[in-house]
Amino acid sequence: MKNREIRPAGFIDLQVNGYLGIDFSAPDLTVDKVRLVVEKLRDRGTIGFCPTLITSSVELYESNLPVFARCLKEPDLTRVLLGVHLEGPFISPDNGARGAHALEHVQSPSVRLLDQLRKLAKDGISILTLAPERPGALALIDYAVKSGITVSLGHHDADAETIRRACDLGAVASTHLGNGISNLIPRHPNPLWDQLDEQRLTATLITDGHHLPASFIRVVARVKGVSKLVAISDSAPLAGFSPGDYDCMGQKVVLEPSGRIWNPVGQHLVGSSACLLDCMNHLASLGLFSESELWQVGFHNPLALIKASVPSSPTSERVVWKDGRFEMGAS
């Protein structure tokens, strides 16, 4: 993995909820809005990403999944969009593990419903994040994996045995490890230790400087190693906006000058205001990885996780490494 013939032009982000006011989980989504996000993120160094739909109503899925199916047929979009990431609706209804996801739209794991969502997306679903401890989840994992969908464990409270069984059936990742979990957990055992211990799981981490302390990122990096780590942005629709009070993803939230987005009522974060370039630079600042290892975490590993090919980038701008950080520069 260290010696790559292809020098990446930018990064691959497996979790993008929206950007510059465009919400992938809003009912007014259009192909043109998706195209605008593609263009703006490409200018910020993201050359491939998975648009993410959070836990939503069936009606919203019926509206938005066909939009993404159309996008995946557009020549200028299909080389950037790497398939939909369904974050839910088969997650834990528990307040802590559920996080910013709406309780009323959480669904019990259902092969029938996932099959319906697959058809709406014209088989354009690349990642499914679910809670493996919920009744029916293991059967759903088996079905999803056999359907070619990457299964990731997230927004859950599963024990070690359930995590092991999920991996036996083909689950391969932990969605934003360290987030989407109850604020209070047992000292041990708990889902953090058990996912760290399970070496079949690749950890995706939101490395924006707000979601995780540096000490946690360092521990995960040491346990998992560079081959089992993926940086994601979890960018919210407010990413790219100025600080202020906003309505976002059905909630009243505050975007602080620091970039932190949070819900003061529920006391939880609501996605990130960062793009992956920002997240990769925060990760670089921790001094854990060399430049080539950072490219592995931000480019090669996410592509491998979803078994995707290298996207092409028509832009003349590319991400370059300079003075210990990434920045946009001419190719």
Mean pLDDT over each residue of the chain, to the nearest integer = 94
**Ramachandran region, residue 144 (left: φ > 0; alpha: ψ -120 to 50; beta: rest):** alpha
Of residues 329 and 1, more confidently modeled:
329
| pLDDT at 190 exceeding the cut of 50 | yes
The count of domains in the chain is 1
Share of the chain above pLDDT 90, in %: 87
Which domain range does residue 134 map to? 11-242+268-330
- φ/ψ of 109, rounded to 5, equals -55, 130
Please identify which of the residues 13, 157, 234, 278 carries the catalytic annotation.
Answer: 234
pLDDT at 2: 46
Cα separation, 244 vs 105, in Å, equals: 28
259 within a domain of the structure (yes/no):
no
Q: Rounded to the nearest 10 degrees, how much is the dihedral formed by the CA atoms of 314, 126, 164, 160? A: 80
pLDDT at 251: 83
pLDDT at 41: 97
195 within a domain of the structure (yes/no):
yes
**In 3-state terms, what secondary structure has residue 71?**
helix
| pLDDT at 173 exceeding the cut of 50 | yes
pLDDT at 7: 77
33-46 per-position pLDDT tens digit: 999 999 999 999 99
234 is catalytic: yes
Q: Of 72-86, 105-119, 260-274, 301-315, which gets the smallest average pLDDT?
A: 301-315
Q: Of 6-20, 126-140, 206-220, 257-271, which gets the smallest average pLDDT?
A: 257-271
**In 3-state terms, what secondary structure has residue 282?**
helix
247 within a domain of the structure (yes/no):
no
Residue pair 33/64 in contact (Cβ under 8 Å)? The answer is no
10-23 per-position pLDDT tens digit: 999 999 999 999 99
318-327 per-position pLDDT tens digit: 999 999 999 9
CATH code (residue 121):
3.20.20.140
Which of 261, 284, 285, 257 shows the shortest CA–CA distance to 273?
261
Helices 58-71 & 31-43, crossing angle to 10 degrees?
60
Q: Which amino acid, residue 113? A: L
2 within a domain of the structure (yes/no):
no
252 within a domain of the structure (yes/no):
no
Cα separation, 108 vs 262, in Å, equals: 27
| pLDDT at 92 exceeding the cut of 70 | yes
| pLDDT at 266 exceeding the cut of 90 | no
Share of the chain above pLDDT 70, in %: 96
Block residue for tokens 């939909």:
84
pLDDT at 312: 67
pLDDT at 310: 77
pLDDT at 132: 98
**In 3-state terms, what secondary structure has residue 330?**
strand
Confidence label for 144 from pLDDT (cuts 50, 70 and 90): very high
Long-range pairs for 20-25 at CB < 8 Å and ≥24 separation?
20/237, 20/239, 20/240, 20/241, 21/237, 21/238, 21/240, 21/241, 22/237, 23/237, 23/248, 23/249, 24/51, 24/52, 24/53, 24/64, 24/237, 25/52, 25/53, 25/54, 25/56, 25/60, 25/64, 25/249
57-77 per-position pLDDT tens digit: 999 999 999 999 999 999 999
Q: Which amino acid, residue 30? A: T
Full-model pTM: 0.95
173 has which bridge partners? Answer: 152, 202
Confidence label for 95 from pLDDT (cuts 50, 70 and 90): confident
255 within a domain of the structure (yes/no):
no
306 within a domain of the structure (yes/no):
yes
The mean per-residue pLDDT over the stretch 45-50 comes to: 97
| pLDDT at 331 exceeding the cut of 60 | no
The mean per-residue pLDDT over the stretch 168-197 comes to: 95
**In 3-state terms, what secondary structure has residue 50?**
strand
